[in-house]
Structure 1
Amino acid sequence: MAFKTTRPLRFGDCDPSGIAYFPSYLNILVGVLEDYFGSLGFPWKVLINDRRLGVPTVRLDLTFVKPGLQGDNLEFMLAVRGIGRSSLDLEHQVSANGQVLWSAKHRVVATSIDTHKSIAWPDDIRAALTPHLEMTDAHHPAT
């Protein structure tokens, strides 16, 4: 059950030639991840301020296929591939105009905002993530 959302590729996200500046993709991706957690009922403001839980990226492997162009509507698809004690393995596919622009394998980890150490996913968050878990032949369990 993939999470899907669309984001515009704006002027400020591009280099002078109108091609997406790749660090901008990462900023947009963080917003998509934030929206995903919000869709599960866990807005980051509550996670961070009230529950003192962070979700930092610990691994991100991107593969670029085609350039994104200013004005493109980026179609993000986020799939959960593994849930570990504290980790969450995700796959992203980003398309525009029906063509894949880039994909990513992404690991985030639940951490304490106070100690900056990994913590186990709280039971309610794990319960919300679990129905979204999609297995693939290339699945490698999270740790």
Structure 2
Amino acid sequence: MFQTTRYLKFGDCDPSGIAYFPSYLDHLVGVLEEFFATAGVPWPTLIQERRIGVPTVKLDLTFSKPGFHGDRLDFAVRLKRIGTSSMDLEHEVSANGALLWRADHRIVATSHDTHRACPWPDDIRSAFMPYLETQDA
């Protein structure tokens, strides 16, 4: 599992101080970029040099409680599956020990040259293997 923290800023919230849900997605992209960098796969190298993108093809969010301006958001990212070209992630976002929202997320490796799915290169797959959560039998 990968964990990191973000804070809800004034610009992330509506006039009542409650998190504006699209701002959560902005944070989610930043967390995903940080996760890749921590695994040794920084996006500038992936995108500019290797010409591989990681677009989202599925994102299912469930909101449990509102977040408020100033909240510390604790992100937990679990890698559930690595396919030939896809990766399934589970995100849980909490503040003050309470779950705010969770998401099931699928990204796909794509070639910037063909704009089609491409297999994860072996070194990238290997970089993520330590994060892959195993299923108990």
What TM-score range do you get, normalising by the shorter chain?
over 0.9
Partner of 1:111: 110
Aligned residues: 136
TM-score, normalised to structure 2, is: 0.97
Alignment of 1:1-143 (within 5 A): 2-136=1-135
Shift of 1:136: 4.3
Write the distance in 1 (CA, Å) between the matches of 2:108 and 2:45: 17
CA contact (8 A) 2:92 2:101 kept: yes
What is the RMSD of the two structures over their aligned residues, measured on CA atoms? 0.9
Opposite residue 73 of structure 2, the aligned amino acid is: L
Distance in 2 (CA, whole Å) between partners of 1:105 and 1:80 is: 10
User: C-alpha displacement at 1:71, in angstroms?
Assistant: 0.2
SS at match of 1:26: helix
Give the residue type in structure 2 aligned to 1:75.
D
Question: What does the per-residue CA deviation read over 1:65-101, in whole Å, with 9 as the maximum and x for residues that have no partner?
Answer: 0000000000000000001000000000000001000
Please tell me whether the aligned partners of residues 41 and 127 of structure 2 are also in contact (alpha carbons under 8 angstroms): no
Overall identity of the aligned pairs, in % = 65
Using the size of structure 1 for normalisation, the TM-score is: 0.93
SS in 2 for 1:126: helix
Unaligned runs of 5+ in 1: 138-143
Shift of 1:113: 1.1
Distance 1:40 1:20 in 2: 29
Matched residue, 1:141 = none
Residue type of the partner of 2:75?
F
What is the identity, as a one-letter code, of the residue corresponding to 1:23?
A: P
